A and B are shown apart, each in its own frame.
Chain A
């Protein structure tokens, strides 16, 4: 038996047969292509798919890993569709009679070779990018994902790192856990594992022994421990732990989709935070009561231009119709500070958290804002939409935003485009100013959603992104809790609802507090919904007995 230590990134115990994933071992198929047109068609179809994958990767990376990582995939996509690369592949197919796979491999090697020959270290590194792109297209052409899992499973997949395309295509019924030697809590495989509820350990401190293939392995995705070929006693022990774990999961299941009520019998909505229509399946799977926060800025990040009205309309419509009448709160563009979009040409700011961001930026650039509002109102015909403005600090900002909404509605009406005339407008409460004057703001809007991350940062004057400040940050600081309570009270006095959409919304130690002060809605990442429901329903049951 060997015990290895890594970093646990997705909680839970898992066991199974260890399956080492090795890449690039199968040779690229080569044959003489009889019909070059057919090979060209295959190549172009594969390129289309590769572009789609890369767009998705860019978007996911933007959301989870940041601009730098996302940009890598954007560059990959550009290299792929670059006329130089395209021409090279096409001339190999047409001129030399190569099949698509062989042509892509040769073109990839050719351009990788060009970069490798350059003096500059930085440029030499780019050869890896070129090979990566070529491999992606070849994988699509051959339909290869990774070696199929032979046998009944369950399996623990082990690899250096798992590419997003690999995790997305694996057989979920057979895979019990992930084990990677590189990666981090933010790597794609980790995020994927958490989304899927599969235990995962990354960053193993030592490499797996050569003979580990096919051995029995246990892993604890919480502590990061890995047991390779455990002896019987250990295995039995681990089995018991896994069993207890499984029971808890099964126990949680009873709460899926169950309504949560407050003391007076009214509903406490448990909703989901999302960044794009791709998050919908998780929202439906977790049976969220609605979408409490659609971060529309993710449509703007990780790309080279602003999404136009049609593209935005399409995204909003998808989410609204997908939710089948359940409420969907879309937050208008919250860009600036930690979320930068290169195509918006935002000036560098000394203090971006307090800079020209969110509603300020939208009011300063009404053209962008107007496009978004038009798309939103048009989509309003397809479901239960509410629109929410971020970073509000004064009544005047709300009035200006509302006036723009009014103008957009008149425009659409004049154009004869259908839309819902009474879309509820609400605001984020994330500045102390807004919380303090929430009584005045409540006269202007139909709902509040408290963004606890920023509210905490601004109230405590602690930079969220400065790790050195972390010891001074108190997530449950009385000042923040008082502002939350005050905001909820202001809302209720004015007869409007108030929710929480920051990280505190999923904080189990505060769930009861939120219910007690009468919070109407908690919105969180889909993966947290079940735990929060369980926490509230379990407490409710305890109180009754």
Chain B
């Protein structure tokens, strides 16, 4: 299992376009990819392979997301996703 966290800088948050690209990237992985965000006392999670689920979380600028990659190709997937987040969000 690999985890990392990232704080969203894009003013629009994870809006539809990067969300789409992010999901596309995650869908390529054989590992499971989950995103979690802490809100108040709760932790909300979503599969990064599901666009609607991710968009419903409506992640805003300044929020920190925790990404967990678990599976056979986690070693390549996690850095690739992190690089994507850095480049686009």
Q: A residues near B, CB below 8 A? A: 71, 74-75, 78-79, 82-85, 111, 114-115, 118-120, 122-123, 126, 129, 304, 342, 345
Question: How far does the alpha carbon of A403 sit from the alpha carbon of B81 in the complex, in Å?
Answer: 36
State whether B50 touches A75 (Cβ < 8 A).
Answer: no
State whether A82 touches B17 (Cβ < 8 A).
Answer: no
Question: How far does the alpha carbon of A82 sit from the alpha carbon of B19 in the complex, in Å?
Answer: 12
Question: How far does the alpha carbon of A111 sit from the alpha carbon of B56 in the complex, in Å?
Answer: 9
Residue of B nearest to A345 (CB): B87
State whether B52 touches A84 (Cβ < 8 A).
Answer: yes
Query: Given A111-B52, A118-B58, A123-B58, are A78 and B12 neighbors across the interface (CB < 8 Å)?
Result: no
State whether A114 touches B52 (Cβ < 8 A).
Answer: yes
Q: 27 A-B Cβ contacts within 8 A?
A: A71-B17, A74-B20, A75-B20, A78-B20, A79-B52, A82-B23, A82-B50, A82-B51, A82-B52, A83-B49, A84-B50, A84-B51, A84-B53, A85-B52, A111-B52, A114-B52, A114-B56, A118-B56, A118-B58, A119-B58, A120-B58, A122-B12, A122-B15, A126-B16, A126-B55, A304-B24, A345-B87
Residue of A nearest to B87 (CB): A345
Least distance between B80 CB and chain A CB atoms (Å): 12
B21 interface hit (Cβ, 8 Å)? yes
Q: Contact string, B1-29, partner A, CB cutoff 8 A, digits 1/0?
A: 00000000000100111001101100000
State whether A78 touches B51 (Cβ < 8 A).
Answer: yes
Question: How far does the alpha carbon of A129 sit from the alpha carbon of B51 in the complex, in Å?
Answer: 13
Least distance between A82 CB and chain B CB atoms (Å): 4
State whether B55 touches A83 (Cβ < 8 A).
Answer: no
Chain B residues with Cβ under 8 A from A75's Cβ? 16-17, 20
Question: How far does the alpha carbon of A74 sit from the alpha carbon of B49 in the complex, in Å?
Answer: 16
State whether B20 touches A123 (Cβ < 8 A).
Answer: no
State whether A79 touches B51 (Cβ < 8 A).
Answer: yes
Number of A-B contacts (CB under 8 A): 41
State whether A78 touches B15 (Cβ < 8 A).
Answer: no
Query: Given A75-B20, A304-B21, are A83 and B58 neighbors across the interface (CB < 8 Å)?
Result: no
Chain B residues with Cβ under 8 A from A84's Cβ? 50-53
Main secondary structure on chain B at its contact with chain A? helix
Question: How far does the alpha carbon of A345 sit from the alpha carbon of B17 in the complex, in Å?
Answer: 16
Chain A residues with Cβ under 8 A from B49's Cβ? 83
Question: How far does the alpha carbon of A119 sit from the alpha carbon of B58 in the complex, in Å?
Answer: 9
Most chain B beta carbons < 10 A, residue from A78, A111, A114, A342 = A78
Least distance between B65 CB and chain A CB atoms (Å): 17
Most chain B beta carbons < 10 A, residue from A85, A123, A126, A342 = A123
Least distance between B68 CB and chain A CB atoms (Å): 18
Residue of A nearest to B53 (CB): A84
Q: Contact string, B49-89, partner A, CB cutoff 8 A, digits 1/0?
A: 11111011010000000000000000000000000000100
Question: How far does the alpha carbon of A82 sit from the alpha carbon of B49 in the complex, in Å?
Answer: 8
Most chain B beta carbons < 10 A, residue from A84, A115, A118 = A84
What are the nearest 10 A-B pairs in CB distance? A84-B52, A82-B51, A78-B20, A84-B50, A75-B20, A83-B50, A304-B24, A82-B52, A84-B53, A75-B16
Chain B residues with Cβ under 8 A from A78's Cβ? 20, 23-24, 51
Residue of B nearest to A88 (CB): B52
Chain B residues with Cβ under 8 A from A85's Cβ? 52
Chain A residues with Cβ under 8 A from B56's Cβ? 114, 118
Chain A residues with Cβ under 8 A from B24's Cβ? 78, 304
Chain B residues with Cβ under 8 A from A74's Cβ? 20
Chain B residues with Cβ under 8 A from A71's Cβ? 17
Question: How far does the alpha carbon of A226 sit from the alpha carbon of B42 in the complex, in Å?
Answer: 61
Chain A residues with Cβ under 8 A from B58's Cβ? 118-120, 123
Question: How far does the alpha carbon of A179 sit from the alpha carbon of B56 in the complex, in Å?
Answer: 39
Question: How far does the alpha carbon of A79 sit from the alpha carbon of B53 in the complex, in Å?
Answer: 11
Chain B residues with Cβ under 8 A from A114's Cβ? 52, 56
State whether A342 touches B52 (Cβ < 8 A).
Answer: no
Least distance between A170 CB and chain B CB atoms (Å): 31
Question: How far does the alpha carbon of A367 sit from the alpha carbon of B8 in the complex, in Å?
Answer: 33
Residue of A nearest to B84 (CB): A345
Question: How far does the alpha carbon of A296 sit from the alpha carbon of B16 in the complex, in Å?
Answer: 29
Question: How far does the alpha carbon of A78 sit from the alpha carbon of B19 in the complex, in Å?
Answer: 10
Residue of B nearest to A75 (CB): B20
Question: How far does the alpha carbon of A119 sit from the alpha carbon of B21 in the complex, in Å?
Answer: 23
Least distance between A109 CB and chain B CB atoms (Å): 13
Most chain B beta carbons < 10 A, residue from A83, A111, A119 = A83
Question: How far does the alpha carbon of A58 sit from the alpha carbon of B52 in the complex, in Å?
Answer: 21
Question: How far does the alpha carbon of A122 sit from the alpha carbon of B18 in the complex, in Å?
Answer: 14
Residue in B17, B50, B55 whose beta carbon sits within 8 Å of that of A123 in the complex: B55
Least distance between A38 CB and chain B CB atoms (Å): 26
Question: How far does the alpha carbon of A118 sit from the alpha carbon of B55 in the complex, in Å?
Answer: 10
Chain A residues with Cβ under 8 A from B87's Cβ? 345
